[in-house]
């Protein structure tokens, strides 16, 4: 072996021992720049609305940081680019890449979407997260939304909501008759069947509608957001429990074509950020609602009332009928309902020995 050949072999051996040959570069000697993706995200909430309105902002911030700016998501509040209740279509059609809202707003075109926000007397927030993330719900949700060119992800949960604000006492089912109430989703259908009139309007219009008599009652979320919107200034009675939304799940929706364009690592960052925001939203509402309720009752004199048991029982009967009608003969709807119902039954059995048992004992011992 000549000296030249020996030197070549020695250099190659040294490179191998240090981790292999140098990485490929462009003809100019520099690494190819990574593609920058710029997305627009539209929401059903006012810009920077406390709690749920901050969820998309937090997702955008986390994705931007994790991706080192490779995926830059700009958030637009309700009405800035798209009307609040039209974001489903905007994302589905690719007008924008992403949305944040609640699936029951789309019940007119996708009735079964309501399973993925709230079913009256259905799953709590903790139970909903269990069904979606570990109980088979997510696969069914993805299958449903694939029909509309969408990829769904969890986007937060506000926990058990309040039944709503009224200027009239509710002592019987007859007291609901003739009331015009802002209440969306299946809860709205149940309210209609109980003798009231359900109206679906976005957050920014509720206060004025109550103040001017366009509606007589309204449910929005719970003390944290309701205090911010000032409903205590235009309604006297605050009713519970939130039979209509026991654990309302919020959603991120992504246009399928835009999603498929992302490399795998960016897709994982979006999923990770969505699940982190999902946990953060529920934690914030859990912390803020009790503080806000204290202010509403002690500072503003709001009267908190429980809906009568016979009223709740009748609303539950109507809700069961509405769910059966919604399912119809669509095989996918039937599979979604079967999965939801079976999971609900199983988790209720366990919660009798865990959540409910603990709460009952705590109340008994501490005198609540």
- Would you state the pLDDT for residue 20? 35
Q: Which two tokens stand for residue 265?
A: 């690592």
Degrees (nearest 5) of the Cα angle 116, 155, 133? 60
Q: Which two tokens stand for residue 98?
A: 């992403």
The fourth-level CATH superfamily of domain 37-156+248-286 is Bacterial extracellular solute-binding protein, family 7 (3.40.190.170)
- Would you state the pLDDT for residue 298? 97
- Would you state the pLDDT for residue 3? 36
Residue 238 is inside which H or E element, if any? Answer: strand 237-240
What's the DSSP call for residue 26? -
Q: How far is the C-alpha of 213 from the C-alpha of 180, rounded, in Å?
A: 9
Domain segments of the chain: what residues? 37-156+248-286
- Would you state the pLDDT for residue 2? 46
Q: Running along the chain, 368 residues long, what does each successive block of 10 average in pLDDT?
A: 41 39 40 86 95 97 98 97 96 98 95 97 97 98 98 98 96 96 96 96 92 96 97 96 97 98 98 98 97 97 97 97 95 98 96 94 89
- Would you state the pLDDT for residue 31? 55
- Would you state the pLDDT for residue 204? 87
Q: What pLDDT digit, counting tens, does each position of 272-301 carry?
A: 999 999 999 999 999 999 999 999 999 999
- Would you state the pLDDT for residue 367? 83
| Long-range pairs of 339-346 with CB within 8 A, sequence gap ≥ 24 | 339/131, 339/135, 339/136, 339/137, 339/140, 340/115, 340/119, 340/122, 340/123, 340/131, 340/137, 343/123, 343/127, 343/130, 343/131, 343/135, 343/136, 343/137, 344/122, 344/123, 344/127, 344/131
- Would you state the pLDDT for residue 33? 76
């Amino acid at each position: 072996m000549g000296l030249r050949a020996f030197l070549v072999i020695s250099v190659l051996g040294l490179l191998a021992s240090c981790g292999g040959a140098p990485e490929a570069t462009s003809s100019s000697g520099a690494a190819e720049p990574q593609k920058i993706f710029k997305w627009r995200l539209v929401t059903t909430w006012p810009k920077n609305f406390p709690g749920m309105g901050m969820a998309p902002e937090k997702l955008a911030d986390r994705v931007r940081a994790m991706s080192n700016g490779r995926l830059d998501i700009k958030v637009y509040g309700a009405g800035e680019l798209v009307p609040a209740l039209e974001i489903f279509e905007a994302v589905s059609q690719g007008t924008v890449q992403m949305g944040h809202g609640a699936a029951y707003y789309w019940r007119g075109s996708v009735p079964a979407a309501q399973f993925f926000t709230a079913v009256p007397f259905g799953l709590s927030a903790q139970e909903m997260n269990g069904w979606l993330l570990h109980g088979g719900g997510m696969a069914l949700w993805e299958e449903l939304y694939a029909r509309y060119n969408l990829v769904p992800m969890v986007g937060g949960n506000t926990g058990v909501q309040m039944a709503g604000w009224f200027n009239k006492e509710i002592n019987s089912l007859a007291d609901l008759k003739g009331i015009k109430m802002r209440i969306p989703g299946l809860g709205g259908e149940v309210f209609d069947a109980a003798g009231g009139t359900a109206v679906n309007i976005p957050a920014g219009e509720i206060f004025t509608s109550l103040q001017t008599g366009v509606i007589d009652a309204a449910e929005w979320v719970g003390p944290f957001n309701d205090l911010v919107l000032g409903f205590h200034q235009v309604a006297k009675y605050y009713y519970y429990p939130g039979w209509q939304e026991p654990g309302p799940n919020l959603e991120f929706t992504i246009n399928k074509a835009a999603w498929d364009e992302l490399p795998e690592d960016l897709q994982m960052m979006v999923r990770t950020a969505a699940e982190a925001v999902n946990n953060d939203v529920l934690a914030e509402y859990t912390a803020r609602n009790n503080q806000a309720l204290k202010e509403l009752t002690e500072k503003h004199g709001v009267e908190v009332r429980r809906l009568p048991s016979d009223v709740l029982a009748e609303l539950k009967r109507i809700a069961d009928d509405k769910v059966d009608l919604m399912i119809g003969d669509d095989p996918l709807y039937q599979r979604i309902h079967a999965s939801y119902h079976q999971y609900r039954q199983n988790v209720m059995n366990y919660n009798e020995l865990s959540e409910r048992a603990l709460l009952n004992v705590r109340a008994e011992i501490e005198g609540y």
